[in-house]
Amino acid sequence: MPLEHVIAVVMVGGLVLYMLGGGADFGGGVWDLLASGPRREAQRSLIEGAIGPIWEANHVWFIFVFVLFFSAFPPAFTSLTTALFTPLTLYAMGLVMRGSAFTFRHYDSDPVRRRRFGALFSAASIGCPFLLGMMGAALVREQPLSLELDLFVVAGGFFALALVAALAATYLVVAAKDAAVREDFRRRAIVSLVVAGLASWLALAAAGDVAPLLVARVGRGLPAIAGTLFGSVAVFILVTRRYRAARLVVGALASTVVVGWAIAKGEVLVWGEHSLSSSRAHPATLQVLLVAS
Amino acid sequence: MDTATLARAQMGLSLAFHIVFAAFGVGLPLLLVIAETLATRTGDERYRLLALRMAKGTAILFAVGAVSGTVLSLELGLLWPEFMRRFGEVVGPLFALEGVAFFLEAIFLGIVLYGRSLVSARVYRLSGVMVAVSGAASAGFVTVVNAFMNLPVPVQWDGDRAFLEAPWLVFTAPSAATQVVHVLLSSYAVTGFVMAAVHAVMLLRGREPSFHRLALDVALPVGAVAALLLPLSGDLSAKQVTRHQPWKLAAMEAHFTTQACAPLLIGGLPDEATGTVRFGLELPCGLSLLGAADPNAVIAGLDQVPLAERPPITRTHLSFQVMVGSGSFLALLSLVALGWRWKKKEWPAQRAFLVALVLAGVAAPVAMEAGWLVTEWGRQPYVVRGLLLTADAATHVEGLAGRLAVFSGLYLFLAVTVVGLLRNLFREPEPTLVPHAA
B contacts of A282 (beta carbons < 8 Å): 89, 156, 158, 163, 165
The answer on pLDDT for B426 being more than 80 is no
* Residue whose C-alpha is closest to residue A247's, from A184, A188, A169, A180: A169
Q: Hey, is A73 helix, strand or coil?
A: coil
pLDDT band at residue B141 using 50, 70 and 90 as cut-offs: very high
Distance CA B160, CA A232 (A): 51
What torsion do the CA atoms of B379, B382, B388, B394 make, to the nearest 10 degrees? Answer: 120
Could A64 and B410 be called an inter-chain contact, meaning their C-beta atoms sit closer than 8 Å? no
Query: Which residue blocks in B80-168 are alpha helix, DSSP H?
Result: 81-114, 121-150
The answer on pLDDT for B188 being more than 70 is yes
Strand partners, A248: none
pLDDT band at residue A52 using 50, 70 and 90 as cut-offs: low
A contacts of B96 (beta carbons < 8 Å): 64, 67-68, 71, 289, 292-293
Closest CB from B84, B107, B163 relative to A77: B84
* Residue whose C-alpha is closest to residue A22's, from A234, A169, A164, A172: A164
Per 3-state DSSP, chain A is made up of helix, strand and coil in percentages (nearest 5) of 80, 0, 15
Distance CA B188, CA B28 (A): 8
Query: How much is the average pLDDT of A59-79?
Result: 87
Residue in A with minimal Cα distance to B395: A82
Q: Which of residues 74-133 of B touch A (CB under 8 A)?
A: 74-78, 81-82, 84-86, 88-93, 95-97, 99-100, 102-103, 106-107, 110, 113-115
Query: How much is the average pLDDT of A81-96?
Result: 89
Q: Are B54 and B198 in contact (CB under 8 A)?
A: no
A contacts of B92 (beta carbons < 8 Å): 67-68, 70-72, 74, 281, 285, 289
Could B410 and A96 be called an inter-chain contact, meaning their C-beta atoms sit closer than 8 Å? yes
The answer on pLDDT for A33 being more than 50 is yes
Counting other chains too, the contacts that B396-400 makes at CB distance below 8 Å and 24 or more residues apart are B396/A82, B396/B3, B397/A82, B397/A85, B397/B3, B397/B78, B398/B3, B400/B3, B400/B6, B400/B7, B400/B10
Q: At what angle do helices A40-51 and A85-107 cross, to 10 degrees?
A: 110
Distance CA A6, CA A286 (A): 9
Query: How much is the average pLDDT of B422-436?
Result: 63
**Is A292 in the B-facing interface, judged by CB distances under 8 Å?**
yes
pLDDT band at residue B43 using 50, 70 and 90 as cut-offs: confident
Query: How much is the average pLDDT of A162-187?
Result: 92
Per the prediction, chain B carries an average pLDDT of 89
Amino acid A222: pLDDT: 86
Distance CA A244, CA A174 (A): 8
Closest CB from A57, A96, A292 relative to B67: A96
The mean-pLDDT minimum among A196-200, B199-203, B404-408 falls in B404-408
Could B163 and A293 be called an inter-chain contact, meaning their C-beta atoms sit closer than 8 Å? no
Closest CB from A64, A74, A95 relative to B85: A74
pLDDT tens for B356-376 read: 999 999 999 999 999 999 999
A contacts of B68 (beta carbons < 8 Å): 96
Could B56 and A107 be called an inter-chain contact, meaning their C-beta atoms sit closer than 8 Å? yes
Amino acid A53: pLDDT: 56
The answer on pLDDT for A280 being more than 60 is yes
At residue B141's C-alpha, the angle toward residues B190 and B318, to 5°, is 45
pLDDT over 70, % of chain B: 97
A contacts of B417 (beta carbons < 8 Å): 100, 104
**Is B232 in the A-facing interface, judged by CB distances under 8 Å?**
no
Closest CB from B96, B163, B421 relative to A68: B96
Amino acid B429: pLDDT: 54
B contacts of A81 (beta carbons < 8 Å): 74, 77-78, 81, 84
Distance CA A137, CA A155 (A): 8
Q: Are B92 and A289 in contact (CB under 8 A)?
A: yes
| Number of Cβ pairs < 8 A linking chain A and chain B | 172
Could B89 and A91 be called an inter-chain contact, meaning their C-beta atoms sit closer than 8 Å? no
The answer on pLDDT for B427 being more than 80 is no
pLDDT band at residue B436 using 50, 70 and 90 as cut-offs: low
The answer on pLDDT for B428 being more than 70 is no
Sign of CA dihedral B104, B109, B115, B121: positive
Amino acid A104: pLDDT: 84
Could B410 and A68 be called an inter-chain contact, meaning their C-beta atoms sit closer than 8 Å? no
Report CA Rg, chain B.
23
Could B92 and A99 be called an inter-chain contact, meaning their C-beta atoms sit closer than 8 Å? no
pLDDT tens for A5-27 read: 999 999 999 999 999 988 999 99
Query: How much is the average pLDDT of B197-226?
Result: 90
B contacts of A104 (beta carbons < 8 Å): 60, 417, 421
Distance CA B353, CA B355 (A): 5
Amino acid A151: pLDDT: 92
Closest CB from B56, B166, B421 relative to A284: B166
Best mutation target, A4, A48, A60, to test chain B (most B CBs within 10 A): A60
The answer on pLDDT for B389 being more than 90 is yes
Strand partners, B49: none
Distance CA A96, CA A90 (A): 10
pLDDT tens for B56-90 read: 888 888 888 888 888 888 888 888 989 998 998 89
**Residue A56 φ/ψ, nearest 5 degrees:** 70, -20
A219 secondary structure, DSSP code: I
pLDDT tens for B241-295 read: 999 999 999 999 999 999 999 999 998 899 888 888 888 898 989 999 889 889 9
Compute CA distances B250 → B36, B75, B131, B245, whole Å: 46, 31, 39, 9
The answer on pLDDT for B433 being more than 60 is no
* Residue whose C-alpha is closest to residue A164's, from A59, A29, A268: A29
Amino acid A187: pLDDT: 93
B contacts of A55 (beta carbons < 8 Å): 63, 110
Q: Are B253 and B287 in contact (CB under 8 A)?
A: yes
Q: How far is B410 from chain A (nearest CA, A)?
A: 8
Q: Is 0.90 exceeded by the ipTM?
A: no
What torsion do the CA atoms of B295, B298, B300, B304 make, to the nearest 10 degrees? Answer: 160
Q: Are B49 and B433 in contact (CB under 8 A)?
A: yes
CB within 8 A of A147, min separation 6: which ones?
Answer: A83, A84, A86, A87, A134, A135, A138, A153
The answer on pLDDT for B219 being more than 90 is yes
Amino acid B28: pLDDT: 92
Q: How far is B288 from chain A (nearest CA, A)?
A: 41
pLDDT tens for A114-169 read: 888 999 999 999 999 999 999 999 999 988 988 889 999 999 999 999 999 999 99
**Is A240 in the B-facing interface, judged by CB distances under 8 Å?**
no
Residue in A with minimal Cα distance to B167: A285
The answer on pLDDT for B48 being more than 60 is yes
**Is A103 in the B-facing interface, judged by CB distances under 8 Å?**
yes
Q: Which of residues 48-67 of A touch B (CB under 8 A)?
A: 52-57, 59-60, 62-64, 66-67
Residue A27 CA, distance from chain mean position: 9
The answer on pLDDT for B438 being more than 50 is no
Q: Who has greater pLDDT, A282 or B187?
A: B187
Distance CA A88, CA B428 (A): 39
pLDDT tens for A232-275 read: 989 889 888 888 788 899 999 999 999 999 999 888 888 888 98
The mean-pLDDT minimum among A44-58, A88-102, A153-167, B281-295 falls in A44-58
